[in-house]
């Protein structure tokens, strides 16, 4: 079984390159379940119902998010009714939406997707991702051993620690949020695939997706600055994990990196 996670989709450039390549990736890697991180899909900040529906129509089975999930207020009602758009599971009790989902594939296999968010250098007041992660994994394992975790976080140390903490309990822990793909893909000793960050799907001539001139100005002046998504050529970053159906253990992990010509 092959599971795909596409990293932080940023604005129009990210959605455009996905529309060109997602179906090709799914065919090439014989993807059984496709997950995309959509928290930056609407102009770089948040996701709207219309854009979420667009991404689902491209072929994603699950959309994850992160600290920008509430940037577009119209998403609040949508996320209550759409179980396949996830917000981090370690938001406090009572927050709209869900932090995990189980998808039944045409084969009859069940795959669980869990979404967590780190607390190091992150703006939201969240519950402990380790304790919540363990609790939610135990729930998911009552239904399936095939579990993919999107760990949305700033600190590489925190994402690495989550990978080791859940090693052997889930099929893969893939990091998102930094928009920079790392080169440390591996399978941990007890069978969990890990990658610190799967990277960004968005404009290449940018500073992690935003117009480079605006980012440089903010660094030079230290003044507040409203960022806009950059335009132009794009990159598509993601990761695929091959999983043994019977055990839920990863057998291989591959990074994906496609750029516009």
* Residue from 254, 194, 232, 261 nearest 25 by CA: 254
* Residue from 82, 81, 72 nearest 40 by CA: 72
Over residues 184-192, mean pLDDT: 98
Give the model confidence (pLDDT) of 18-49 as tens digits. 999 999 999 999 999 999 999 999 988 999 99
Q: What is the pLDDT of residue 125?
A: 85
pTM for the model: 0.96
- How far is the first Cα of the chain from the last one, in angstroms, to the nearest whole number? 31
Report the alpha-carbon distance of residue 12 to residue 63 in Å, rounded: 17
Domain count, the chain: 1
- Catalytic one among 21, 27, 68, 177? 68
Residues in the chain: 261
Give the model confidence (pLDDT) of 96-144 as tens digits. 999 999 999 999 999 999 999 999 999 768 999 999 999 999 999 999 9
Query: For the purposes of burial, counting CB atoms within 10 Å of the CB of 59, is it exposed (0-12), middle (13-18) or buried (19 or more)?
Result: middle
CA distances from 79 to 82, 103, 257 (A): 5, 17, 29
Over residues 206-226, mean pLDDT: 93
Over residues 173-188, mean pLDDT: 98
> What percent of the chain has a predicted confidence (pLDDT) above 90?
97
Over residues 195-216, mean pLDDT: 97
Q: How confident is the model at residue 55 (pLDDT cuts 50, 70, 90)?
A: very high
Query: For the purposes of burial, counting CB atoms within 10 Å of the CB of 23, is it exposed (0-12), middle (13-18) or buried (19 or more)?
Result: middle
The CA-CA-CA angle for residues 227, 229, 234, to 5°, reads 150
Q: What is the pLDDT of residue 222?
A: 93
Q: How confident is the model at residue 225 (pLDDT cuts 50, 70, 90)?
A: confident
Q: How confident is the model at residue 224 (pLDDT cuts 50, 70, 90)?
A: confident
Domain encompassing residue 219: 2-259
Question: Which helix or strand (DSSP H or E) is residue 79 part of?
Answer: helix 75-81
* Helices assigned H by DSSP within 82-211: 129-140, 156-165
Q: What is the pLDDT of residue 226?
A: 84
* Catalytic residue list contains 254: no
CA distances from 3 to 93, 174, 206, 233, 257 (A): 29, 11, 29, 26, 16
Q: What is the pLDDT of residue 142?
A: 97
Query: Which CATH number goes with the domain that contains 117?
Result: 3.60.21.10
Report the alpha-carbon distance of residue 81 to residue 41 in Å, rounded: 19
Q: What is the mean pLDDT of the chain?
A: 97
Beta-sheet pairing, 100-104 with 62-64: unpaired
Report the alpha-carbon distance of residue 64 to residue 176 in Å, rounded: 10
């Amino acid at each position: 079984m092959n599971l795909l996670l596409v990293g932080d989709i940023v604005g129009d450039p990210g959605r455009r390159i996905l529309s060109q390549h997602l179906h090709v990736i799914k065919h090439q890697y014989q993807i059984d379940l496709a997950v995309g991180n959509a928290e930056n899909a609407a102009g770089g900040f948040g996701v709207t119902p219309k854009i979420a529906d667009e991404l689902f129509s491209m072929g994603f089975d699950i959309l994850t998010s992160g600290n920008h999930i509430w940037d577009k207020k119209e998403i609040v009602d949508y996320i209550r009714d759409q179980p396949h758009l996830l917000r981090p599971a370690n938001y406090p009790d009572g927050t709209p939406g869900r932090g995990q989902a189980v998808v039944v594939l045409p084969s009859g296999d069940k795959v669980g997707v869990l979404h967590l968010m780190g607390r190091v250098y992150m703006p939201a007041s969240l519950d402990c991702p380790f304790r919540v992660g363990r609790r939610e994994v135990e729930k998911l394992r009552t239904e399936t051993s095939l579990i993919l975790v999107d760990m949305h976080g700033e600190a590489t140390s925190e994402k690495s620690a989550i990978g080791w903490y859940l090693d052997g309990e889930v099929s893969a822990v893939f990091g998102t949020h930094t928009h920079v793909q790392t080169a440390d893909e591996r399978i941990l000793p007890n069978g969990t695939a890990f990658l610190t960050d799967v990277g960004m799907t968005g404009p290449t001539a940018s500073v992690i997706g935003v117009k480079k001139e605006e980012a440089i100005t903010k660094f030079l002046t230290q003044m507040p600055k409203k960022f806009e998504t950059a335009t132009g050529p794009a990159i598509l970053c993601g990761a695929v994990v091959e999983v043994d159906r019977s055990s839920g253990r990863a057998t291989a992990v591959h990074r994906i990196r496609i750029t516009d010509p």
